[in-house]
Amino acid sequence: MTRRNPYPQALNAAERTYEINEVAKLTGLAAARLRAWERRYAVVRPARMPNGYRAYTAEQVALLRAFARLIDAGERIGDLADEGIEEVLARAEQFDMAGSTHGELLEAVVAYDRDRLEHLVQDEIETRGLAGFAREVVMPFAIEVGDLWALGKIPIAVEHLASEVVVHALKAGLRSQRGDGPICVAALLPHERHEWGFLCCLADVQEMGWQIHYLGADLPPDEIVEVAWKREAQAVALSASDPTNVEPLLTTLVQLPDRLPPRAFAVIGGSGVAGHARFLSKYGYRVGLESFALAGVGQSRDAVG
């Protein structure tokens, strides 16, 4: 497998990039620390956008996460910066997999052992419950798979197998564990297909007492509104991870809260929404799925707006 350059200077226009504040959240490294590492150690050299902002690639974010994990384990950045990138990545991967549940999942998926992967997933859901499985297993597993793919360490077939099994388990859990609480219709916005994180958040919302009716990925807002009326939903949850998918929809999105059934409210989240959060909140949106905890089960749009 060809190893890609860990320090790309030019950006592929079609590649998703991340600003420094996003990278800080994704890695747990403060923005000031990221700037210092770039200046002193050249750990990564992000490209610069026309406005002067740093633009990190997914590969660079994955590499920074590997450094962060080893730093948390007690190593020093000065020592790590002197090592080869491949050595750092290998040690971070071994550290992650040692005795961890998501390490077992990763071993199964890399071996293309679907039966074992499904068995491990089912065991974890039965042990932790759906929300616990989502928080404690799926999220670290998703980060690890995403990082390894971004770094060219695993083929796309591995990522697809992991996604197929985990997403299927999360969707099945949301369907089978519905209670009798108020209905929340949920969907990813058009051109959005990354379901892992959103489904994990929805598992938390369902644990709060909501019935989640997940419609899927890449859904037009008009159809989401239609389903909300048919199901007499009390809430609609939307998500997007890529800001370039959100910007063309803003005119449509600002109309959506007022088109919902009476007393229903709209919640929107995901990293793609962050730059528009204040704007959308002016039109009646609650931003972030944690809004369900603040709202309480069954409260109206007026109560949470």
Tokens 């697809």 correspond to what residue? 160
DSSP 239: E
230-248 pLDDT tens trace: 999 999 999 999 999 999 9
Phi/psi of residue 301, each to 5°? -60, -40
More confident residue, 175 or 25: 175
Tokens standing for 15?
Answer: 């590649």
Residue 188, SS3 per DSSP? strand
Side-chain-facing half-sphere of 139: CA atoms under 13 Å: 16
In the chain, the amino acid numbered 57 is: T
User: Which phi and psi angles does 174 have, rounded to 5°?
Assistant: -65, -35
Contacts of 257 (CB under 8 A, 6+ apart): 265, 266, 283, 284, 285, 301
- What whole-number distance in Å separates Cα of residue 233 and Cα of residue 260? 8
Q: What average pLDDT does the structure give for the chain?
A: 85
Is the Cβ–Cβ distance between 284 and 300 less than 8 Å? Answer: no
Number of H helices, E strands in the chain: 16, 8
Cβ contact 106:141 at 8 Å: yes
Over residues 76-118, the pLDDT tens digits come to: 888 888 888 888 877 777 666 555 667 788 889 989 999 999 9
Of the candidates 260, 244, 236, which has an alpha carbon nearest to the alpha carbon of residue 187? 236
So what CATH class is 180-304?
alpha beta
DSSP summary character for residue 2: P
CB 147 within 8 A of CB 62: yes
Report pLDDT for 147: 82
pLDDT at 288: 80
pLDDT score recorded for residue 4: 37
